[in-house]
Amino acid sequence: MARGLSRFWLWTAPVTVGIGAALVLAAGFALALRGSAGTPLGPPGAQDSARPRPTPAPRDGVFRILVVGDSLAKGTGDESGKGFAVNVLEAFKKKGPAEITNLAVNGMESPDVLAIAESPNVRAIAARADLILVSAGGNDLSHGITRGPSPGDVADAVTASRDRYAKSLRGILAALREANPTARICLLALYDPFGGDQAPGHLGASVILQWNALIAETALGFPNVSVIPTFDLFQGRPDRLSADHYHPNAQAYEEIAKRVLQVV
C-alpha cells in the first residue's frame, strides 16, 4: 500500500510523497471536488448520445479510425505494442479493409488534445473518419496533484485542472463533431491504478469517479458520443497493469477494445 500511495495516481513522472501526506491530499481532493461534476454544454437538443447510432458504413469501402489523446490512446504499457486502438482496428480488418491514424502523444493534457483536434490537418482527417477514439483527462488530474506545496494548494490546483478539463473536453468534442457530424466518437473514461489500496485509495477513487461523471455529462451534450467505462476493469486487478504500474498491459487494452467494439 505504501508503494501505491507514494505514487498516487501518476501516469507520467512519479512524485514521491509520504503516507500521511497522501492521506491529506486524497481527502482534500474529495472535499474540493464534492458535488462538482459540472454541466454538459453542447449543441442544443443534442442530448441523445446515450442512445448510440449505428456506425455509418465506410464511404469508399475502407473503414478509417482516427485516434487522438494521451498515452492511453497511444497504447503505452502494452507489451505487444498494440494498445486498444489497434485491437479495434484488427477487429474491423476481419470484416474488410480498415486503416488507422493514431495522433496520440504521451503526457498530453486536454488543452494539448484540443489544439490537435482544432488543427486544419486533423480536421481533414477527422472528416474522413468512420470512428474516432479519444482519451484525455488522466494527465490533467495527475499533473494537478503535483501543482502545489500544501494540501490546500493541491486541492485548488486539482479544481482548476478539472475546470480547464471540462472546457477543453467540450472543445475537443465540438471540434471533432464539427469536422465530422456522423462518425461515432468513443471517449475513454478514467480508471484508478491503485484501486486495490485501502481507505486512502478509496478517497482517491472517489475523485476519479467524479471526473468520470463530468465526462459522462459532457458527452451527453453531443450526438453519437459513447463513453467507454474503464474504472471497473482495474478495481482489484493489479494484474492488468503494465510494468510501470500506471498504464494498462496487453490484457487490459484488449478488455478496453472489447468495450469499444460493443458500441460500434
**Mean of pLDDT over the chain:** 80
Q: Hey, CA dihedral for 140, 145, 150, 156, is it positive or negative? A: positive
In a domain, 55, yes or no: no
Mean predicted confidence (pLDDT) in 76-93: 97
The residues, any chain, with a CB within 8 Å of residue 119's CB and separated by 6 or more, are none
CA torsion, points 72, 191, 179, 102, in degrees to nearest 10? 10
- According to the model, what pLDDT value does residue 143 have? 83
pLDDT tens for each residue of 144-156: 776 555 656 767 8
- According to the model, what pLDDT value does residue 60 have? 81
Task: State how many domains the chain has.
Answer: 1
Q: How far is CA 212 from CA 46, 184, 228, in A?
A: 20, 19, 10
In a domain, 211, yes or no: yes
On the question of pLDDT at 79 being above 90, the answer is: yes
In a domain, 255, yes or no: yes
Residue type, 159: T
pLDDT band, very low/low/confident/very high, at 202 (cuts 50, 70, 90): low
Chain-centre distance for alpha carbon 147: 21
Element (H, E) at 228: strand 225-228
| Crossing angle of the two packed helices 110-118 and 151-179, in degrees rounded to 10 | 20
In the block, residue with C-alpha cell 489544439 = 115
In a domain, 49, yes or no: no
Q: Which residues pair with 100 in a beta bridge?
A: 65
Question: What is the value of pTM for the model shown?
Answer: 0.78
Closest CA to 35 of 169, 173, 162: 162
In the block, residue with C-alpha cell 464539427 = 178
Return the higher-pLDDT residue of 118 and 53: 118
- CA atoms of 104 and 83, how far apart (whole Å): 11
In a domain, 251, yes or no: yes
On the question of pLDDT at 41 being above 50, the answer is: no
The residues, any chain, with a CB within 8 Å of residue 52's CB and separated by 6 or more, are 184, 224, 226, 263
Closest CA to 83 of 113, 105, 98: 105
Residue 162, domain CATH: 3.40.50.1110
pLDDT tens for each residue of 166-177: 999 999 999 999
Range of the domain at 81: 2-8+16-39+63-217+224-263
Mean predicted confidence (pLDDT) in 104-118: 97
Strand-by-strand arrangement of the 131-135 sheet:
98-102, 63-69, 131-135, 184-188, 225-228
Mean predicted confidence (pLDDT) in 180-191: 97
Q: Hey, CA dihedral for 136, 141, 142, 143, is it positive or negative? A: positive
- According to the model, what pLDDT value does residue 138 have? 92
Mean predicted confidence (pLDDT) in 120-134: 98
